């Protein structure tokens, strides 16, 4: 089922991209023209501009962003005093518009009231894993999302299996379906899902779909939301944080989450978006290796609240979380499961902190899968320390990249890790899009968080922290099996001439912006 024909959608997308590019270019040219004119006025004006630039640099240094992010913008501000300030204010700020900040704060306040965590945080599994309990407590403290016992987790090592189960669960919906995805694209995958959504809407099921406007800028018609809502009155849709072309093009604060909840009983999350390459029905960069999980039991409530929290930020229709809480019989699942969200609107880098904390807990082994490896000093130091403690550290990245510049930066990040004994593997069959870490066969996190600046600092993300869950062993087994299909990188593989070194050095300067 398609709402627009393929040719019309492609033409509309091309027109929107062209318009976005032209308006962005015009803004840059205006800034540059103003900069040149100011410089031409007098030496005095030039001095004022440089003084203003220095004041702004001091402001940046006092901020809480990572050092590499600050250095990048300091270089820009030094080279282009006035223009650099304007570019930063429009495109570089982590802080969003006040309206978005206020909306998120209001929505979060309602969710916090519904997340009475005490009953979940006292289960005996948390006591057994005292070190893991401290991570769960940290997450509860900063995100208000608790750890849940009596929850089962199924791990999917490939998108095709994930999609097959997703369709089965969608067909069981009786009350509501919540979907929140960074990318949706019309094709085999989305067409099958949409057909079920429409049928369920006709049966009285509430269907709520949310996608990121920037993420779908090249995949969906710009009016897709409006047309989807016309299909049936029980279907509501949001294009999160609409791209605005007047005055500023909002690049940051994107909704990178991937969440599906059905009736509050079953939830899915992971790295898999709703487009054909994720189930290998369209080949873009060789074989697409992605992973995800299905949650049943008490922990689904965490995913439900994450969705409602984001939905209420933008929707005219405000959802009451209490209307979607489902009484679930205690599952026999062992361990605990803790869904959580990370927001760019505060100064707490939750996803990064959990990554580092999990790394620091390792006694034997670490397996990390990530499509991008663009590390700041904090995360890099944790990985290096683990390797020097004698931990078997394994990192898997793509063999066929989706972005060549980012791939070069990823490879540049290999060097200090290889020097201390970290093992790095590139998935030779294609593009690895999985985002997970597993430690000592008993602690893991999986979700939407990449090991790069954009995920750590600039996007809305989600993850699931797990301890003692049987699926954790499946994560490690999958990582080991993927290593068998990968090429181990040696320091000799990264040798390059002077031109390559200079190119990489320049790319590393701008890595925080990618």
229 and 286 inside one domain: yes
Report the alpha-carbon distance of residue 406 to residue 403 in Å, rounded: 5
Residue 258 designated active-site: yes
| 7, pLDDT greater than 60 | no
Catalytic residue among 144, 200, 236, 433: 433
303 and 363 inside one domain: no
Q: Per DSSP, what are the bridge partners of residue 151?
A: 297
Catalytic residue among 120, 140, 144, 256: 256
In a domain, 106, yes or no: no
302 and 376 inside one domain: no
Catalytic residue among 200, 221, 236, 258: 258
Asked which of 92, 107, 142 is the last residue of a domain, the reply is 92
| 487, pLDDT greater than 70 | yes
Contact between 297 and 328 under an 8 Å Cβ cutoff? The reply is: yes
Contact between 322 and 114 under an 8 Å Cβ cutoff? The reply is: yes
Asked which of 290, 307, 339 is the last residue of a domain, the reply is 339
204 and 305 inside one domain: yes
332 and 356 inside one domain: no
Residue 136 sits in a domain whose CATH number is 3.30.870.10
500 and 411 inside one domain: yes
The pLDDT, as a whole number, for residue 362 is 96
In a domain, 104, yes or no: no
Q: Per DSSP, what are the bridge partners of residue 439?
A: 366, 443
Residue 124 designated active-site: no
Residue 255 designated active-site: no
CB contact set of 423 (below 8 Å; sequence gap of 6+): 392, 393, 394, 395, 488
Catalytic residue among 152, 212, 255, 263: 263
In a domain, 108, yes or no: no
392 and 443 inside one domain: yes
Per the structure, how many domains does the chain have?
3
The structure tokens 């940046």 sit at 60
CB contact set of 189 (below 8 Å; sequence gap of 6+): 163, 274, 275, 276, 278, 279, 281
Please give the model's pTM, rounded to 2 decimal places. Answer: 0.87
| Residue (of 182, 258, 179, 252) closest to 213 by Cα position | 182
- For the chain, the average pLDDT equals 85
Given pLDDT bands bounded at 50, 70 and 90, which one contains residue 117? very low
The pLDDT, as a whole number, for residue 120 is 53
Residue 168 designated active-site: no
Asked which of 39, 74, 92 is the last residue of a domain, the reply is 92
469 and 415 inside one domain: yes
* pLDDT digits 0-9 by tens, 382-417: 999 999 999 999 999 999 998 888 999 999 999 999
Residue 263 designated active-site: yes
In a domain, 112, yes or no: no
In a domain, 483, yes or no: yes
* pLDDT digits 0-9 by tens, 40-72: 656 666 677 677 777 777 777 766 677 777 777
The pLDDT, as a whole number, for residue 307 is 97
For β-strands 292-297 and 266-270, DSSP reports them as antiparallel
- Across residues 117-133, what is the average pLDDT? 61
322 and 414 inside one domain: no
Residue 452 designated active-site: no
* 3-state DSSP assignment of residue 232: coil
Q: How many helices (H) and strands (E) does the chain have?
A: 19, 18
128 and 250 inside one domain: yes
Buried/exposed code over 480-501 (b: 16+ C-beta within 10 A; e: otherwise): eebbebbeebeeeeeeeeeeee
Q: Look at 376-380, 429-433, 480-484 and tell me which has the smallest mean pLDDT.
A: 376-380
**Which domain, by its residues, includes 222?**
118-339
């Amino acid at each position: 089922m398609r709402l627009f024909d393929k040719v019309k959608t492609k033409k509309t997308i091309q027109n929107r991209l062209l318009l976005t590019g032209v308006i962005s270019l015009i803004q840059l040219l205006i800034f540059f023209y103003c900069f040149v004119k100011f410089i031409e006025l007098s030496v005095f004006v030039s001095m004022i501009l440089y003084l203003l630039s220095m004041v702004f640099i001091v402001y940046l240094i006092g901020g809480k962003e990572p050092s590499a992010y600050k250095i990048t913008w300091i270089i820009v501000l030094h080279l282009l005093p006035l223009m650099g300030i304007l570019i930063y204010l429009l495109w570089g700020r982590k802080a969003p518009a006040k309206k978005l900040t206020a909306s998120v704060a209001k929505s979060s306040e309602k969710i916090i009231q519904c997340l009475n965590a005490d009953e979940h945080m006292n289960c005996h599994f948390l006591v057994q894993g005292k070190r893991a309990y401290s991570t769960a407590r940290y997450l509860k403290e900063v995100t208000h999302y608790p750890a849940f016992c009596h929850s089962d987790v199924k791990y999917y090592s490939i998108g095709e299996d994930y999609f097959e189960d997703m369709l089965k669960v969608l067909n069981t919906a009786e009350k509501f379906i919540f979907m929140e995805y960074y990318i949706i694209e019309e094709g085999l995958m989305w067409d099958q899902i949409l057909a079920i959504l429409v049928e369920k809407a006709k049966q009285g099921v509430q269907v709520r779909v949310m996608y990121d406007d920037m993420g779908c800028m090249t995949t969906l018609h710009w009016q897709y939301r409006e047309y989807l809502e016309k299909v049936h009155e029980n279907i509501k849709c949001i294009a999160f944080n609409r791209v605005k072309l007047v005055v500023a093009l909002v690049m940051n604060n994107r909704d990178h989450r991937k969440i599906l909840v059905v009736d509050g009983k079953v939830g899915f999350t992971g790295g898999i978006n709703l487009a054909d390459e994720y189930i290998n029905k369209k080949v873009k960069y060789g074989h697409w290796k992605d992973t995800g999980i299905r949650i049943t039991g008490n922990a689904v409530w965490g995913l439900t609240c994450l969705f409602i929290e984001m939905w209420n930020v933008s929707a005219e229709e405000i959802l009451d979380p209490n209307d979607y809480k489902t009484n679930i019989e205690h599952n026999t699942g062992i361990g605990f499961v803790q869904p959580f969200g990370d927001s760019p609107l505060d100064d707490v880098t939750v996803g990064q902190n959990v990554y580092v904390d999990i790394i620091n807990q390792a006694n034997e082994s670490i397996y990390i899968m990530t499509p991008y490896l663009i590390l700041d000093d904090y995360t890099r130091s944790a990985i290096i320390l683990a390797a020097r403690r004698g931990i078997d550290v394994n990192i898997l990245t793509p063999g066929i990249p989706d972005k060549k510049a980012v791939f070069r930066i990823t490879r540049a990040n290999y060097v200090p890790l290889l020097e201390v004994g970290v093992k790095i593997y590139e998935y030779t069959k294609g593009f690895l899009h999985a985002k997970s870490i597993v430690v000592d066969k008993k602690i893991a996190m999986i979700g939407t968080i990449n090991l790069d600046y954009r995920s750590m600092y600039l996007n809305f993300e989600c993850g699931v922290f797990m301890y003692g869950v049987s699926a954790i062993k499946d994560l490690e087994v999958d990582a080991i099996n993927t290593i068998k299909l990968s090429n181990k990188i040696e320091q000799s593989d990264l040798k390059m001439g002077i031109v390559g070194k200079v190119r990489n050095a320049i790319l590393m300067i701008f890595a925080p912006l990618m």
